[in-house]
Structures are given as structure tokens and as C-alpha cells.
Homo-oligomer: A and B are copies of this chain.
Amino acid sequence: MNIKENELDKNFNHKKKMVKIKQARDKLMKNKNQEKGLIIVHTGLGKGKSSSAFGMIMRCIAHKMPCAVVQFIKGTWKTGEKDFLIKKFSKECNFFVSGDGFTWDTQDREKDINSAKIGWDKAKEYILNQKIRFVLLDEINIALRYKYLDIDDVTTFLLKSKPFMTHVVLTGRNADTKLIEISDLVTEMNLIKHPFKKGIKAQPGIEF
């Protein structure tokens, strides 16, 4: 068999396989016809928890779905995404900064608790506003982990008061198991390789 025939064979077999995959996929997708506002969690030690939520905000703006961000913890950190949304898309996306910085920078538990509570009040306001279709609670898992916010308050509110079609995304490492239990979509970002280990610092575009 020469090379050309071999290629033709490969093309033919590929088509047979893809027809089968397509049939299986169509069957699978036939039952996926419901729409629902999701409770989404991004957790794990890897990168991409906040950035993928901001990627979804890009999608929401494109689809003309009004959205909102409450940024816990990171507060004073100057990030590209905050700049971008506040300067260019303040109509499309509400942006509220509640944190005063990382816990190890503020070193002030009382102040951190107060900031977290103000952030959570704003979060509830955004979520209850039915015009807003997508609410990102960035790094809220950190505030929950330090018990600045009560996990039962948060899960009860999401389960009982979130409008049916509103999506809420909660990010941050060490997501509470109670939160994972009530969520619809949970992704764990795992670190396989990280350049910090090789002395590379946090860089614009990548980490902030």
C-alpha cells in the first residue's frame, strides 16, 4: 500500500468514527434542554480561578447580560481586569471592591471581617437585582475560610433567595464542602507546573 492510499484509508476511518461520535453526541445533547441560573465554584491551588470567571464576564457582556463583581480580599491590588471593567464597561458590569488587601497585608482581623460583611451585603443586593444575570464573588472562599462570613448564611441565601435564572460564581482556594454540595458546576484548578518555583515574578497579563 502506498502512502496516498494509506492517507485515504485514514480519512475514511476518521469519517466513520466521527459519524459515530456525532450520533452519540446528538443523542446525549437531546436531553440537555433546560436552562437554569447556576451556582458555580472555581477552586483549587492552580491558576485560572478568577481569570476564567472574568472570561465569562467577557462572554456576558457580548451577550448583553448585565453582570456584577464583588471583589473580596484582593481589594487594593491593582489588577488589569478591575481597570478594564471599571474604565470601559461600567454600564455593563457593576464592580464593587470590598477587601482591603490580602490578609497578610492588612493583619487586621476586625477590619477584614467588616470588609467581608460589607462585600456580602453588596453581593446579596446584586444577586437579588433581577436585571443582573451574572454575579462574580471573587475570592469569597478566602473570606469563608477565615470565617469572616458564615458559610450557612451564604449557602442558605444562594439556595433560597437567588433568582432562578441568575448565575453566581464563587472563586478562591479551599472551597467549603457545604458550598460544593449546593453548587451546580464545580471546577478544581490544579497546579501542574508554576513559574514562581523558578524565580519568575507575577507578571501583567498573566497574574493580574
A interface residues (Cβ-Cβ under 8 A, vs B): 10-11, 14-15, 18-19, 21-22, 25, 29, 31-36, 38, 40-42, 44, 46-63, 65, 67, 79-81, 83-85, 87, 103-110, 133-134, 167, 180, 183-196, 198-206, 208
Contact = CB atoms under 8 A, between A and B. Distances in A.
B55 A51 contact: yes
Contact of A193 (B31, B185, B192): B185
Contacts of A185: 47, 193-195, 206
Contacts of A184: 193, 195, 198, 200
Contacts of A104: 18, 21-22, 25
Nearest to A85: B58
A187 B187 contact: no
Nearest to A25: B104
The 10 A-B pairs of least Cβ separation, nearest first, read A51-B55, A59-B80, A62-B80, A48-B52, A52-B52, A54-B55, A186-B192, A14-B109, A55-B55, A62-B84
Contacts of A62: 80-81, 83-84, 87
